[in-house]
Amino acid sequence: MIQALQSELLIGGIPIVHLNRLRALVTQNRTTNSGPKLKQILDDIELLVEVELEKLSFSRKRQKIWLKIGLN
């Protein structure tokens, strides 16, 4: 999964499906006895995923607006 993400970042973006999968993996792998370093890494990954998903959402909304007003 990590190698696929690296490749997708290099070519310009990660598909939503992969971001959602990564978010699920982070959530599933959180445990109450995770050390502080692992917790921080998971928090950072989770934040980055949320930012990327929001950017994609904004881009789709902008594209829909452009199509409505004829600016494709």
Tokens 């990564």: give the residue: 22
| Model pLDDT, residue 12 | 65
Q: Does residue 2 surpass a pLDDT of 70?
A: no
- Give the pLDDT confidence of 30-70 residue by residue, as tens digits: 876 778 898 898 899 889 888 888 888 887 777 777 777 87
- Phi then psi for residue 33, to 5 deg, are -105, 25
Whether 5 contacts 35, CB under 8 Å: no
Question: How far does CA 9 lie from the centroid of its chain?
Answer: 11
